[in-house]
Structure 1
Amino acid sequence: MEWKTIPALSNQAIHLVERIFEENHDITIFSDNIAQPLSAQVASLDLARKTLILRVFCPAGNIEDYLPNGLISFDLEKNSRDDSPLLLCFEKLQATHERIYSSLFEIRCTLADTLLITVKPGGVRVPFLLGMSASVTLDVYTDSLTINARLCNLSLGGCRLQVPLEKSMPLTIHQQIPNIHIQFPNGESFRAKGSIRNMRPFGSGRYMAVGIRFIDLDRETRQRLLYFITESEAELARRMGMENRRVGISPLYLTTSHARKSVNSSNKRNMLPPMAHAIKEVARQQHIILHYLKNERPFPEDILYDGADSLLHLVESDRHQFLYTLRYIGDEVTWVRHSVRVAALLGDILLPQPGLIGDAREAVAGILLHAMGKPLLVNEQLPTLDTNLRSSQKERLKHHVRALRQQLHRVGWHPGPVLSCIIDDINERLDGSGYPAGKAGEALSKLVRTASVIKIVDTLTHARNGRPALSPLDAYRWVYGNKGYDRQCLNRYVRRYGLYPIGSLVKYSGGFLAWVMRLDREGSPDQVRVVKNLAFLDSKLDTILADKDIQQIGKLEAVVDPANFQL
């Protein structure tokens, strides 16, 4: 089949890129050789010469590593108020660079004729732009795990998907996908088997770009796929405003009455306070580190320590605000929320202690890395970590330390003694009942004993595997009665955070729920953010009360689980 419209479409694509660049957008330069991407800004765009100039700050000065063989690849993310962000990938454009000042560079990119649409051996690859969309369902494990995604482009050879970062945990390069179901707005769809040929973080947001190759296509499925590609190419040309194209919208993109409009969660994140953005970035980095470990790519040491440094800097800059802001990671997947909270509180406890402050950076990094062991074990027998686990699955998870150690060995990264101590010993217990080595007593350092108390309190105060969350008081009682934990470390924890920790949700006798923002010397809340009146469940409040004004909402009753009130 002849694709005569491609040159015209490609020329029109350059004008489309100009329109996108004129609106709010983020540009992220990436390289297969380096884990940390670079943020860039458009300095100029010359349509006549098809030249784009990017301005980028590269702290390490190694800009050549981002332009292998004189080629640059970058993602463009454009946020929309009403829909999911538009994510475009520009791959292997010819580029040269010039140092402007110190670590500031300008990169001159040549916009090829195949800027958005390329013709490959498998046929044309059509990008989904200008509101074009198709939903994708991946059956990762037959009858046990399904992931939803969005279609970024489509060709006879395969497709690229936009997968939420938190959903990408079970995916690895070369993995076979038994069923890929792509559905268009009018309800038409097709199914195929596939293999993941590449995946990487998409832009600077919370998505993974997953490239899939279709396999074992029969003739009927191939013909149906060709129809979808032809219709999509024609629809893209129509939306670009090209002449001599059909006037009407493609039947594929006529929305059915039951179709639901997607919610742009990125807009909710944009409303977060600045410190919450920083903490959310540490959570995002956890997914990135796991991706590199699972796919046996060079270990992203810079990203790990950047997360540790961020948490320590935040707690030093404004401790009360930091502890309060930690509540914003409550919507993260369990293993990420747990790791970031424990790392943050460990840093908060270590910094005031002269004997331990020197180990704070390594210890916090150790907590962040320790969390990777369990998601590394996810497979068809253990498809998720967030449901009620069977006994055999819980037993499997006890091997997470060994799994992490093996993976670190495969990627050739060897942590230092403090970080290693956290990874190896945080699940050990004073009475020898822990794992993986059954260490006991003096074999466990003060640092490990401190971290273990923080970890178990966080575990107990959050619901898990069908067990409801305990109040801080009940959690303290449980830990105090367990011989595996250091009571001195527990007492220090209780004195520092009290019965109503900053960032916890509390209920008052007047029927109001409020977030604790600050404590007085006795450990009682003296500043709260009131968010709900239980007499009016559908309404929301946002009122800060302090000191005596708190009496307006009644007497303090208890710490409650935010999940029970959809908060």
Structure 2
Amino acid sequence: MEWKTTSALSNQAIRTVGRIVEGSHDITIFSNTRAHPLSAQVAGIDIGRRTLTLRVFCPAGNIGDYLSDGLVSFDLEKINRDDPPLLLCFEKVQATCERIHSSLFEVRCTLADTLLITIKPGGVRVPFVLGMSASVSLDVYTGLTISARLCNLSVGGCMLEVPLEDSMPLTIHQQLPNIYIQFPNGEGLRSKGSIRNMRPFGRARHVAVGIRFIDLDRDMRQRLLYFITESEAELARRMGMENRRAGISPLFLVSPHDKKPANSNKRRNKLPPMAHAIKEVARQQHIILHCLKNERPFPEDMLYDSADTLLHLAESDRHQFLYALRYLSEEAAWVRHSVRVAALLGDVLPTQPGLVDDAREAVAGILLHAMGKPLLLSEHLPSLDTHLTASQRNLLKHHVEALRRQLHKVGWSPGPVLNRIVGDINERLDGSGYPAGKRAEALSELVRTASIIKIVDTLTHARNGRPALSPLDAYRWVYGNDGYDKKCLTRYVRRYGLYPVGSLVKYTGGFLAWVMELDREGSPRQVRVVKNLAFQDSKLDTVLADQDIQQIGKLEEVVDPANFQL
């Protein structure tokens, strides 16, 4: 693979990189053999020599895994407050490496003249950067369509940027019955395709998906060539180079009435530090699932890093940690559930002398256990977030076996504690659970404790058409069920109370507030007021503590945030 060199675009690759890194940006080095990307910082740019020098910290010191045959691949993400992030991928760039100190390295990359890549005679891969855009829709299963953004385009295929949470049903070598690429002016191309490769895109919440076009007839191929030619000319124009056309390509003309895409970056930047850490654990859940689905080496270090993060956060400031869990609301349901249960288990186990030594393995087990259900996604089970039929619910009961099969395929064997959590957490004391129908005598105190946390979290959040229960109603339901340990439930209630930190509560004055801290009696002593129900369109953000809380009335009940669009 060589870079296509044209006089009009000489040195534009390094110049474009220079323009991007002047502002806020992230650089990550990736490898097809490693799940973890490496963060990098720009140490220097030489426009004349087309060299980009990166300073990279590699904790394990095995940076050779990222520089196979003297080539390095990295993602460059430009972060702009007013626009969606821009992601640019450089693949197999010539590079040399020098160790600076222990685990610190300098990687000197020699970029080609241009961003255009020659992929075969007469063909070019055009990156969509500098504001160039095209939307893509992928029909995966009947009734399931995924939206994506075009990253590059060639005669043979394209690369797409797919939101991490939407990538669950996708697998390498999967056949896609319909791919539709639409340019800003409304013109588009429809084709069949297959997935050639997938990987996490930098540190963003996206997956890079490589697509190969299938069964293009003569007319479709001619239309594709037209789109590539226009895109190539538009790229040159946006780079400020001489071009045969002075104006913008018709493909990229857009109506002035079209709205800008909503930007979630502002909200992300307002998150408290603990929420950032918890959402990174959620992101890593998707990456671990990606490795399992595509039979890549199992990222054991990532799994245990997530467990260690949750345990450390719980120990450092318990109330802030529990409050930060509410920021998981925008995650996929299976991720929300797994991270919340793992977090609470990490909060509970260190207080129980007989279980504290198993905390790390148990928290990792909860995080891994959740992978089984998304592994079952198929034509028969296209989504986990819709109302499931009886047959689909029965299919989901095989998620433990599905997870174990996949772990065997990737050659990873969990330890005894982790294995017990994965296999037994859905078992019940009365034998009504699954997958083996074990009874009380076969279930450890660790499993019983984790089961209580899991079922309370399940009941207090809406699922499959069932509304969320209040904590009190959930406790009553669990207490009346012979499948759960009542002593473990009592310990749970004493620790979290009727108004758990992170829950949304309603006051008699018509105000809604998030619980931030509890007093010794289990009543909120600090809350964040976010809504006055007398003014439906207004939003509040006021922290009240102790006696000031009386200003908003008396505490009434815990409510479901979804009922108030919160």
TM-score (norm: length of structure 1): 0.98
Q: Quick one: which amino acid aligns to residue 249 of structure 1?
A: I
User: Which has the higher mean CA deviation after the structures are superposed, 257-266 or 151-160?
Assistant: 257-266
Pairwise mapping of residues 227-306 of structure 1 onto structure 2 (< 5 A)? 227-256=226-255, 259-306=258-305
User: Which has the higher mean CA deviation after the structures are superposed, 116-125 or 131-140?
Assistant: 116-125
Q: Deviations over 1:399-455 (max 9, x none)?
A: 000000000000000000000000000000000000000000110000000000000
Q: Quick one: which amino acid aligns to residue 23 of structure 1?
A: G
Aligned partners of 1:238 and 1:245 also within 8 Å? no
Q: Secondary structure at the match of 2:91?
A: strand
**1:52 Cα deviation from its structure 2 partner:** 1.0
**1:331 Cα deviation from its structure 2 partner:** 1.2
Pairwise mapping of residues 88-487 of structure 1 onto structure 2 (< 5 A)? 88-114=88-114, 116-121=115-120, 123-142=123-142, 144-256=143-255, 259-487=258-486
Question: Partner residue of 1:505?
Answer: 504
Aligned partners of 2:237 and 2:243 also within 8 Å? no
Q: Quick one: which amino acid aligns to residue 459 of structure 1?
A: T
Q: Secondary structure at the match of 2:351?
A: coil
Q: Secondary structure at the match of 2:386?
A: coil
Aligned partners of 2:12 and 2:113 also within 8 Å? no
Distance 1:356 1:4, change over 3 A: closer
Aligned partners of 2:71 and 2:93 also within 8 Å? yes
Q: Deviations over 1:21-48 (max 9, x none)?
A: 2111100011111111110000000111
User: Which has the higher mean CA deviation after the structures are superposed, 513-522 or 81-90?
Assistant: 81-90
Aligned partners of 1:82 and 1:263 also within 8 Å? no
**1:81 Cα deviation from its structure 2 partner:** 1.9
Q: C-alpha root-mean-square deviation of aligned residues, in Å?
A: 1.2
Aligned partners of 1:173 and 1:198 also within 8 Å? yes
**1:267 Cα deviation from its structure 2 partner:** 2.8
Q: Deviations over 1:84-112 (max 9, x none)?
A: 21001111111111111111111111112
Aligned partners of 2:236 and 2:243 also within 8 Å? no
Structure 2 distance, partners of 1:398, 1:30, is 36
Distance 1:180 1:259, change over 3 A: farther
Structure 1 distance, partners of 2:57, 2:272, is 25
Q: Quick one: which amino acid aligns to residue 92 of structure 1?
A: K
Q: Secondary structure at the match of 1:178?
A: strand
Pairwise mapping of residues 43-54 of structure 1 onto structure 2 (< 5 A)? 43-54=43-54
Q: Secondary structure at the match of 2:11?
A: helix
**1:264 Cα deviation from its structure 2 partner:** 2.0
Aligned partners of 2:512 and 2:533 also within 8 Å? yes
Structure 2 distance, partners of 1:368, 1:212, is 30
Q: Quick one: which amino acid aligns to residue 134 of structure 2?
A: A
Aligned partners of 2:234 and 2:249 also within 8 Å? yes
**1:239 Cα deviation from its structure 2 partner:** 0.8
Where do 5+ consecutive residues of structure 2 fail to align?
A: none
Structure 2 distance, partners of 1:61, 1:340, is 30
How many percent identity over aligned positions?
Answer: 79
Question: Partner residue of 2:489?
Answer: 490
Q: Quick one: which amino acid aligns to residue 342 of structure 1?
A: V
Structure 1 distance, partners of 2:167, 2:529, is 35
Structure 2 distance, partners of 1:244, 1:430, is 74
**1:258 Cα deviation from its structure 2 partner:** 5.9
Q: Deviations over 1:338-379 (max 9, x none)?
A: 000000000101011111000000000000000000000000
Pairwise mapping of residues 32-111 of structure 1 onto structure 2 (< 5 A)? 32-111=32-111
Q: Quick one: which amino acid aligns to residue 189 of structure 1?
A: G
Q: Secondary structure at the match of 2:428?
A: coil
**1:113 Cα deviation from its structure 2 partner:** 2.6
Structure 2 distance, partners of 1:252, 1:301, is 45
Q: Quick one: which amino acid aligns to residue 173 of structure 1?
A: I
Aligned partners of 1:133 and 1:184 also within 8 Å? yes
Structure 1 distance, partners of 2:78, 2:14, is 16
Q: Secondary structure at the match of 1:247?
A: coil
Structure 2 distance, partners of 1:102, 1:244, is 48
Aligned partners of 2:4 and 2:118 also within 8 Å? no
Distance 1:380 1:6, change over 3 A: farther
Q: Quick one: which amino acid aligns to residue 123 of structure 1?
A: G
User: Which has the higher mean CA deviation after the structures are superposed, 6-15 or 236-245?
Assistant: 6-15
Structure 2 distance, partners of 1:481, 1:399, is 27
Aligned partners of 1:70 and 1:96 also within 8 Å? yes
**1:193 Cα deviation from its structure 2 partner:** 0.4
Question: Partner residue of 2:541?
Answer: 542
Aligned partners of 1:367 and 1:423 also within 8 Å? yes
Q: Deviations over 1:454-513 (max 9, x none)?
A: 000000000000000000000000000000000000000000000000000000010000
User: Which has the higher mean CA deviation after the structures are superposed, 23-32 or 260-269?
Assistant: 260-269
Structure 1 distance, partners of 2:358, 2:101, is 36
Aligned partners of 2:233 and 2:243 also within 8 Å? no
Q: Secondary structure at the match of 1:308?
A: helix
Q: Quick one: which amino acid aligns to residue 499 of structure 2?
A: Y
Q: Which stretches of structure 1, 4 residues or more, deviate above 4 A after TM superposition?
A: none
Pairwise mapping of residues 13-24 of structure 1 onto structure 2 (< 5 A)? 13-24=13-24
Q: Secondary structure at the match of 1:140?
A: strand
Structure 1 distance, partners of 2:5, 2:320, is 56
User: Which has the higher mean CA deviation after the structures are superposed, 237-246 or 102-111?
Assistant: 237-246
Question: Partner residue of 1:530?
Answer: 529
Q: Quick one: which amino acid aligns to residue 341 of structure 1?
A: R
**1:14 Cα deviation from its structure 2 partner:** 2.3
Structure 1 distance, partners of 2:397, 2:256, is 48
**1:158 Cα deviation from its structure 2 partner:** 0.3
Q: Quick one: which amino acid aligns to residue 276 of structure 2?
A: H
Structure 1 distance, partners of 2:271, 2:50, is 38
Aligned partners of 1:80 and 1:264 also within 8 Å? no
Q: Deviations over 1:188-208 (max 9, x none)?
A: 111000000001000001000
Aligned partners of 1:512 and 1:530 also within 8 Å? yes
Residue 12 (1) aligns with residue 35 (2): no
Aligned partners of 1:10 and 1:117 also within 8 Å? no
Aligned partners of 1:187 and 1:256 also within 8 Å? no
Q: Deviations over 1:499-530 (max 9, x none)?
A: 00000000001000000011111111011000
Q: Quick one: which amino acid aligns to residue 422 of structure 2?
A: I
Structure 2 distance, partners of 1:233, 1:472, is 58
Structure 1 distance, partners of 2:74, 2:145, is 29
Aligned partners of 1:178 and 1:193 also within 8 Å? yes
Aligned partners of 1:185 and 1:259 also within 8 Å? no
Q: Secondary structure at the match of 1:85?
A: strand
**1:303 Cα deviation from its structure 2 partner:** 0.4
Aligned partners of 2:14 and 2:52 also within 8 Å? no
Structure 2 distance, partners of 1:385, 1:132, is 34
**1:257 Cα deviation from its structure 2 partner:** 5.3
Aligned partners of 1:386 and 1:465 also within 8 Å? yes
Aligned partners of 1:138 and 1:181 also within 8 Å? yes
TM-score (norm: length of structure 2): 0.98
